[in-house]
Structure 1
Amino acid sequence: MKEFDFIKQITPSFYKQSSVVKGIGDDGAVIKPPNGHELVVVADAMVEGVHFSLDYMSFHDVGHRVLAANVSDLCAMGSTPLYYIVTISVPTQYTKEDISQLYNGMQGLAKSFNMDLIGGDTTSSDQLMISITAFGSVLSNQKRLRSQAELGDLVFVTGYLGESGYGLHLLEKKEPDSYFINRHKRPVPRYHFIQASSRIDRLSLNDISDGISTELNEIAEASSVDITINYSQLPVHTDMATLQEDWLRELVLSAGEDFELVGTCSKEAWVQLEDACHQFNIPITSIGQVRMQAGERPTVKLREEERDIVLDREGYEHS
């Protein structure tokens, strides 16, 4: 694969974002974020055999999924996606068409958010690895940080939990394509939550990439609070409700890669947020409450049948 020919192939004919001063074609891109906005920068990498397998995913699927992970991080910061940079290491057995399909997967998703590809690099390696740096913009008073949870806040989550993990299980069993399999292969970030929550003054927010247990512990630690969630309130798709109970608990609490959003807001803001999400067709559920830190360190607890058990980052529950 000739790098310069490939760069020419993926260079866009025009840039959708007027803030791109200079895109692909020089040693670096030049961007000028919208006036009054702050630039949010996120990065994520996926490695074949670790984060995905081409045994059950296409190159198009992989491209979509790695960019979706970055867009979800931008959404969790309350920022509007703008641009992305791709660094890819490619084994010699993969063809130009293979890598073109990978880029097509990214570009198909990017088109949904008017994101521009503004640069990157291509190298050879023994293992396929895709690393993306993505950029978004946010007004200074609308940043959504993990450290913004406060005593008395309600805890909420978008969508349903455990769907991607269940989809991966079905993929590994070589089941035919289904809703759950597509939730794993081609997740759709909660982009519209940015607009739905734009009038809320304060939100803490995290995206569910590593499981809700991990994400809630990150919010609790950043905000120096305790969090209690109710197991009976955790949203589960009806087609998963009949799964074996222990497995369902593992999927819901720690499977991860749903790329839904979990966060906190005041009780007053919840009424407004719930209504706005309904207007944007975003499922959202109240699942718990923020409490004063009671011990030496912030703690997340799972309440079930009037009993509280500590939930650590891995979803492991202990007395």
Structure 2
Amino acid sequence: MSIQDEFSFINRIRPSTIHHQDTLVTGIGDDAAVYIPSPSQSQIICTDTLVEEIHFTNQTMSPYQIGYKALAVNISDVAAMGGTPLYYLVSIAIPSNWSEQELLEIYNGMSEIATTYRMDLIGGDTVSSKNSLMITVTVIGETEKGRQLLRSHAKAGDVVFVTGTIGDSSAGLELLLERGRNGGFNEEESYLIHRHQYPNPRIEVGRMLSKMERVSLNDISDGLASEANELAEASQVMITLEAELIPLSKELTNCQVEHAIDKALFGGEDFELIGTMSQADWEILQQNGQTTLSKIGTVSDGNPGVVLKQEGSLITLEKKGYNHFKK
């Protein structure tokens, strides 16, 4: 590890602004952080680890982008629960070939998105690593008691929906792996790359959905097919997706004409939301003019699983997507 003085480094990453959350008692600077949870809220805790050469390389993301994404993917988990993010902790294992300035850029990237959501950095750890950089981020959030959104709430007759467009991130990663970060990309390719490097957690949508009577929800980290299967398994239902309804960006269809739908189904790392709600609630949203959600299928009784309706055929979609342990 190239940091000469760990305590000096901690002082450099310590937030210099006042706390965003008034429930925080003690953050960085003591043996542990202390905060006071609101008695009317349920606490949400999630964690993710990003490993160099598995989740990122210097060919695909700058240190700043690595930091931004490391926190964004955790915020997306909070969004999928219908919650609001409050605090985050960062543990980082650092090999000797990473400079202190690069590490500061990682924390600066996190700070950008943390400021957007008024989150406080309240702790973590720094250790040395022999080979790869490893970043583990833990996020603490909250939602109203009894209003958390779970994967197990889907029922027959529900509408299946997604936010945004699907498949962009995977296409962006493919471009980066082919040409590197300085590959001379056109406007459409740059859009896809930005979608990979700067995920947009759907906190506002999750909060809106948490006010509804019954919603199942999941974030799309491993691909649409995988996440839809998780909903089907948790709720013990059959999900039918319609290929022609899956929202694809014009940038994706222009750059990936033949494989756009595969990027959406199996690519992963879009960090959009997939969920279900009753047909009645869906119709109310449409009457109110919502444009954030797109209907992509329906829920029915049957053996838990997912099928894709495409050009008159029904295709079983296996629970496959990005798998960290697949050789």
> Is 1:285 aligned to 2:294, yes or no?
yes
Q: Which residue number corresponds to residue 125 of structure 1? A: 129
CA displacement 1:80-115 (0-9 Å, x = unmatched): 000000000011121211100000000001000001
Judged with a 3 Å threshold, the aligned counterparts in structure 2 of structure 1 residues 202 and 165 are, in CA distance, closer, same or farther, namely same
Q: Which residue number corresponds to residue 31 of structure 1? A: 35
Q: Which residue number corresponds to residue 12 of structure 1? A: 15
The CA deviation at 1:276 is 6.4
Give unpaired runs (5+ residues) of structure 2: 322-327
Judged with a 3 Å threshold, the aligned counterparts in structure 2 of structure 1 residues 257 and 275 are, in CA distance, closer, same or farther, namely farther
Give unpaired runs (5+ residues) of structure 1: none
The CA deviation at 1:270 is 1.1
2:95 to 88, 91, 95: 91
Could you tell me whether the CA contact under 8 Å between 2:59 and 2:176 is conserved in 1? no
Could you tell me whether the CA contact under 8 Å between 1:46 and 1:131 is conserved in 2? yes
> Is 1:309 aligned to 2:298, yes or no?
no
Runs of 4+ in 1 over 3 A off after TM superposition: 242-246, 272-278
Q: Which amino acid aligns with 1:291?
A: S
CA displacement 1:163-185 (0-9 Å, x = unmatched): 00111112123233511111001
User: Secondary structure of 2:276's match?
Assistant: strand
User: Secondary structure of 2:142's match?
Assistant: strand
Task: Provide the C-alpha distance between the structure 2 equivalents of 1:212 and 1:27, rounded to a whole number of angstroms.
Answer: 41
1:141 to 146, 166, 169: 146
> Is 1:223 aligned to 2:231, yes or no?
no
Q: Which residue number corresponds to residue 67 of structure 1? A: 71
The CA deviation at 1:32 is 1.4
Q: Which amino acid aligns with 1:288?
A: G
The CA deviation at 1:224 is 0.5
Q: Which amino acid aligns with 2:23?
A: S
Q: Which amino acid aligns with 2:30?
A: D
CA displacement 1:26-58 (0-9 Å, x = unmatched): 111111122300100000000010000112311
Task: Provide the C-alpha distance between the structure 1 equivalents of 2:230 and 2:284, rounded to a whole number of angstroms.
Answer: 25
> Is 1:200 aligned to 2:209, yes or no?
no
Could you tell me whether the CA contact under 8 Å between 1:274 and 1:284 is conserved in 2? no
The CA deviation at 1:7 is 1.0
The CA deviation at 1:274 is 4.6
Could you tell me whether the CA contact under 8 Å between 1:147 and 1:219 is conserved in 2? yes
Could you tell me whether the CA contact under 8 Å between 2:171 and 2:256 is conserved in 1? no
Task: Provide the C-alpha distance between the structure 2 equivalents of 1:276 and 1:288, rounded to a whole number of angstroms.
Answer: 21
RMSD over aligned Cα atoms? 1.7
Task: Provide the C-alpha distance between the structure 2 equivalents of 1:250 and 1:310, rounded to a whole number of angstroms.
Answer: 14
User: Secondary structure of 2:146's match?
Assistant: helix
Could you tell me whether the CA contact under 8 Å between 2:192 and 2:251 is conserved in 1? no
The CA deviation at 1:153 is 0.5
Could you tell me whether the CA contact under 8 Å between 2:248 and 2:260 is conserved in 1? no
Q: Which amino acid aligns with 1:270?
A: W
The CA deviation at 1:250 is 1.7
The CA deviation at 1:245 is 5.5
Moved more, 4-13 or 151-160: 4-13
Judged with a 3 Å threshold, the aligned counterparts in structure 2 of structure 1 residues 166 and 275 are, in CA distance, closer, same or farther, namely farther
The CA deviation at 1:264 is 0.1
Task: Provide the C-alpha distance between the structure 2 equivalents of 1:11 and 1:157, rounded to a whole number of angstroms.
Answer: 37
> Is 1:251 aligned to 2:263, yes or no?
yes
- If the length of structure 1 is used for normalisation, what is the TM-score? 0.93
- If the length of structure 2 is used for normalisation, what is the TM-score? 0.90
Q: Which residue number corresponds to residue 166 of structure 1? A: 171
Moved more, 248-257 or 170-179: 170-179
Paired positions, count: 310
Could you tell me whether the CA contact under 8 Å between 1:197 and 1:273 is conserved in 2? no
Q: Which amino acid aligns with 1:5?
A: S
2:246 to 231, 234, 237: 234
Moved more, 172-181 or 208-217: 172-181
Task: Provide the C-alpha distance between the structure 2 equivalents of 1:249 and 1:5, rounded to a whole number of angstroms.
Answer: 49
Could you tell me whether the CA contact under 8 Å between 2:191 and 2:251 is conserved in 1? no
Q: Percent identity?
A: 42
